[in-house]
Structure 1
Amino acid sequence: MISVNRNLQIVRVSALYDLVVTAGFMTPLSAGLVFKGFATLSSVLVLDRPVPTLDVTAMLFANLLGSVVVVWSLWRLLQPSRSVGLYDAVARMLFAVWQLFAVAHGASFLILGFTCFEVGFAIAQILPLNHPRKVRTNSSPSRSGLGA
């Protein structure tokens, strides 16, 4: 069990991670550079599956995804809550499923690095909370019958 404050920290950290990782996908120019970087990394790591060059339609979807995730990340940074973290956990599990599907169908193994973060943050955000217990104070006189 984790504290409510720790949960909110996890929501913020996951949002910051998403912001850093997806901001590059917001524009065609920056997304092109990100994909070139992935292609270089794939080549350096001698991975069998190359990173493809995106056509204009695929680039549009990358830019839309980047834009939506950046806005979602900013929301979670500025307004973190347990419920927002739970919605984010669901989204992360969906992302992980589609990433595994993509790799199983020929996408670059580099995606699996992101999948680890998706699953890790999803689990961290759904951990049960340890709600602080209210301390019961008995300020009324004893009801033991003595002195009454």
Structure 2
Amino acid sequence: MVSPLRTPAHPAYLRVVRASAWYDLVVTAGFATPWTYAPVHDALSSGSRALGFGALPEPDAWQVLFANLMGSVVVVWAVLRIVRTLPEHGLFDGAARTLFATWQAYALAHGASRLLWLFLGVEVAFGVLQLLPWRWRRNGGPVPDGASPADGRPLDTASR
């Protein structure tokens, strides 16, 4: 049986790309401005305390700045993936999620609130769902399953 996510051009794959974008938009929109970040920070801190993970550190000007920068970039990236969903967006988003997950794991290893595990799980799940359908050429370039290299020769599927 062939998985519906086997190829990046499949509509099911594009729905995953779009779903990850909607998740990003909902989760990060509140980080995009200082005025929206304050209540988001308070809600996350309260949730963390309620789960027994402790309060988040009080925000300072640098933390707010970096939260706003991250929120602004992720919101724009999410809107692009919603408005113009392309298979390549899934590839790049999967790569970005790999980076985000790496830094989240680093933060957890250095004492960040265990609340971060919830976000790390989503990053890893969407990253895997978006990267798995892509195959990698020996020369390092991504190729959607079933595609041919630039010279027109069929891919050696045994090497994938």
- The TM-score normalised by the length of structure 2 is 0.77
Structure with max Cα Rg? 1
Does residue 44 (structure 1) correspond to residue 50 (structure 2)? The answer is yes
Does residue 112 (structure 1) correspond to residue 117 (structure 2)? The answer is yes
**How far is 1:67 from its partner?**
0.4
**How far is 1:42 from its partner?**
1.3
Instruction: Name the structure 2 match of 1:72.
Output: 77
Aligned AA (2:107): A
**How far is 1:50 from its partner?**
2.8
Q: Relative contact order (C-alpha < 8 Å, sep 6+): which is higher?
A: 1
Structure 1 residue ranges without an equivalent (≥5): 132-148
Alignment root-mean-square deviation, CA: 1.4
Does residue 89 (structure 1) correspond to residue 89 (structure 2)? The answer is no
- Report how many residues are paired: 130
Of 15, 23, 26, which aligns to 2:21? 15
Does residue 35 (structure 1) correspond to residue 41 (structure 2)? The answer is yes
Determine the C-alpha separation between the residues in 2 that align with 1:50 and 1:43.
Answer: 5
**How far is 1:127 from its partner?**
2.6
Percent of matched pairs sharing the same residue: 45
Instruction: Name the structure 2 match of 1:25.
Output: 31
Structure 2 residue ranges without an equivalent (≥5): 134-143, 147-160
Deviations 1:58-102 (A, max 9, x none): 101100100000000000001111111000000001000000100
Aligned AA (1:56): A
**How far is 1:103 from its partner?**
0.9
Determine the C-alpha separation between the residues in 1 that align with 2:131 and 2:52.
Answer: 36
- Consecutive aligned runs of 4 or more in structure 1 exceeding 6 Å deviation: none
